[in-house]
Amino acid sequence: MDHISEARHIVIVGAGFGGISAALTLAASPALRERGYDIILIDRHHHHLYTPSLYEIAAIPEEYFGNQSLTASILISLRDIVRTKHIRIVCDEIIGRDESARTVILRRGGALPYAYLVLAIGAETNYFNIPGLQAHSVPLKTCDDAIFLRGRIETIFKKKPSLAIVVGGGGASGVEVAAELVNFVCLIREKIMPDRGVCDVSFVIAEASPDILPGFNPWIVRRARRRLERLGVAVKTGTAITSRDPDGITFADGSRLPCDILIWTGGVKGPAVLAGLNLPLSPKGTVMMDATLRAKGGDGKIFAVGDSAWFLHPETKRPLPWNVPVAQSEGRHVGREILRAMRGASPRPFRPRRQYPFILAVGRKYALADLVYVRFGGFAGWCAKQLVQLRYFLFILPWPHAIRLWWQNLSVYRSND
């Protein structure tokens, strides 16, 4: 890191929703440069992944849009985000930390000193050591995952008269991708291969909990179930997957389900690198946080946000969910806390909402919106989801670029509806 001076660095590791929110909150303060601090944003990629649209990418036929068009709609250049802002980008990844020297160790760049460190590395797929699961399933965590999934579905469906798709995990990601894929595969049959007859595809969501969408408001769960039934998606709950082989899935109750493609959205865990940073970790391998989002056992200079953080809600005593609204609110709080620490002010606790607003897409132009004070569904919910996306783009990008990207995405994602 010879090209980086020995100025006081605020190092943010990870350019997800939490990391971007922290960086932009800090960059908006003129006091940062006045006090001699700079922001260094580290990520393995040169882009920010808009994860709420991953299910859309997986459900657009290759004949409609190529890979380049799809990646352009979901991967946002970090340089476009930080342009005109006091943020420096380093394309690298963290592999360790020297506690005594207060440095992070980067794979290519070596040791990088920090005055404050924000861990926003995200999470990785958890296969729970289920035999055959990792080898015979497709995760949905990255843009490459989504493009691989759509290609695999098309390849198999063009060779076989029927197709059995199982989504492992009935959380928000599982419900969204299952609902969207129904239209996708039937679109392939009806418009791309009309000579192949009816759309003979079975969809199943397999969830170990008693019902889908555990932790969601009962109104959302009921409406989502009804919507899935109308789309023809079967739901199997109350029993966990115990093994997976090339032909099917075995469950804890002894039942077996034939399966051509298993999409695994059933769990995540902290990235393996966190275990080497000498910080207290939760049972899921994420960093244990105190009331101010500082890492427990640290020196008060290390924070974590989003999927990398384990924070118990002060009222419910339950860990906060790993979703976009939570990551953004944590990132903003950490940015403000660092600015307060620079001024010598006392730390302030993070006060999460008891409930965060959420919009769940359930196929085509249909979504369920739980905005805490009001709930609605259908086309109005879908419109609300598009406005949320536009609002986020306007937060991270100059407004002409934000509107152009939003309209481009709207055109792409409507193509399979």
Q: Would you say the C-alpha torsion 254, 257, 260, 261 has a positive or negative sign?
A: negative
User: Are 223 and 325 in the same domain?
Assistant: no
- Final residue belonging to a domain, choices 266, 296, 329: 266
Both 260 and 147 in a single domain?
A: yes
Looking at the structure of the chain, the number of domains it has is 3
Same domain, 167 and 111: no
**Surface-to-core class of residue 403, CB atoms within 10 Å of its CB (0-12 exposed, 13-18 middle, 19+ buried):** middle
| pLDDT recorded at residue 4 | 47
CA angle at 258 for the pair 175 and 367, rounded to the nearest 5°: 10
When pLDDT is cut at 50, 70 and 90, the band that residue 159 belongs to is confident
What pLDDT score was predicted for residue 65? Answer: 82
Between helices 218-231 and 172-187, what is the axis angle to 10°? 20
Q: In which residue are the tokens 């090339």 written? A: 246
pTM of the model: 0.93
Residues 22, 115, single domain; the answer is yes
Split at pLDDT 50, 70, 90, the class of 198 is low
Q: Is the pLDDT of residue 192 over 80?
A: no
- As given in the structure block, the two tokens for residue 263 are 């999409």
Query: pLDDT for 321-344, tens place per residue?
Result: 989 999 999 999 999 999 999 999
Of the candidates 195, 363, 178, 141, the one whose C-alpha atom is nearest the C-alpha of residue 261 is: 178
Q: In this structure, what CATH number is given to the domain that contains residue 166? A: 3.50.50.60
Q: What is the pLDDT of residues 217-265, one digit of tens each?
A: 999 999 999 999 999 999 999 999 999 999 999 999 999 999 999 999 9
Q: Is 113 in contact with 6 (CB distance < 8 Å)?
A: yes
How far, in Å, are 96, 105, 213, 317 from residue 311 at the CA level? 22, 25, 21, 9
Contact present, 358 and 325 (Cβ < 8 Å): yes
Supply the pLDDT for residue 332: 97
Q: State whether 410 and 323 are in the same domain.
A: no
Residues 254 and 298 in one domain: no
What pLDDT score does 199 carry?
66
**What tokens appear for 32 in the block?**
């940062």
Whether the pLDDT of residue 3 is over 60: the answer is no
Of 247, 266, 285, the position where a domain reaches its end is 266
Q: What is the pLDDT of residue 161?
A: 76
| pLDDT for residue 193 is more than 70 | no
Which DSSP category does 304 fall into? Answer: E
Contact criterion met (CB below 8 Å) for 225 and 235: yes
Question: pLDDT for 338-351, tens place per residue?
Answer: 999 999 999 999 99
Q: Is the pLDDT of residue 389 over 70?
A: yes
DSSP β-ladder status, 287-288 and 309-310: parallel
With DSSP H G I counted as helix, E B as strand and the rest as coil, what are the percentages for the chain, rounded to 5? Answer: 35, 25, 40
Report DSSP letters for 195-254, one per residue.
GG-S--EEEEEEESSSSSSTTS-HHHHHHHHHHHHHHTEEEEES--EEEEETTEEEETTS
What is the overall mean pLDDT for the chain? 92
Q: Pick the residue with more confidence: 93 or 414?
A: 93
Q: Is there a domain that residue 331 lies in? A: yes
Q: Report pLDDT for 184.
A: 86
Lowest mean pLDDT among 122-126, 186-190, 395-399, 407-411: 186-190
Are 278 and 173 found together in one domain?
no
Check pLDDT > 60 for residue 276. yes
CB 216 within 8 A of CB 223: no
Residue 274 has pLDDT above 70, yes or no: yes
Quick one: pLDDT at residue 155? 87
Distance CA 56, CA 311 (A): 30
What proportion of the chain, given as a percentage, has pLDDT over 90?
A: 77
Q: Tell me if 60 is assigned to some domain.
A: no
* One domain for residues 295 and 335: yes
For strands 367-370 and 375-378, give the pairing.
Answer: antiparallel
Nearest of 245, 256, 61 to residue 157 by alpha carbon:
61
- How many whole angstroms separate alpha carbon 289 and alpha carbon 282? 9
Strands 75-77 and 87-91: unpaired
Asked if pLDDT for residue 5 goes beyond 80, the answer is no
Q: What's residue 2's pLDDT? A: 43
**Alpha-carbon span 139 to 263, nearest angstrom:** 6
82, part of any domain = no
Residue 113: inside a domain, yes or no? yes
- pLDDT for position 187: 77
In the chain, the percentage of residues whose pLDDT exceeds 70 is: 95
For residue 61, being part of any structural domain is answered with no
Looking at residue 1, its pLDDT comes to 45
Residues 392 and 364 in one domain: yes
Label residue 113 by pLDDT band (50, 70, 90). very high
> Is 395 inside any structural domain?
yes
**137 and 260 assigned to the same domain:** yes
223 lies in some domain: yes
Question: Is pLDDT at 125 greater than 50 in this prediction?
Answer: yes
> Domain end: 280, 309, 343, which one?
343
Average pLDDT over residues 29-51: 93
Strands 37-43 and 47-49: unpaired
Residue 391 sits in which domain range?
A: 358-416
Does 259 share its domain with 144?
yes
The alpha carbon dihedral of 189, 147, 247, 266 has a sign of negative
Angle at 398 between CA 397 and CA 402, to 5 degrees: 60
Where on the phi/psi map is residue 215: left (φ > 0), alpha (ψ -120 to 50), or beta? left
Is the CB of residue 153 less than 8 Å from the CB of residue 184?
yes
List, in order, residues 6 or more apart from 183 with CB less than 8 Å away: 59, 363, 364, 416, 417
Is residue 283 one of the residues assigned to a domain? Answer: yes
Same domain, 246 and 281: no
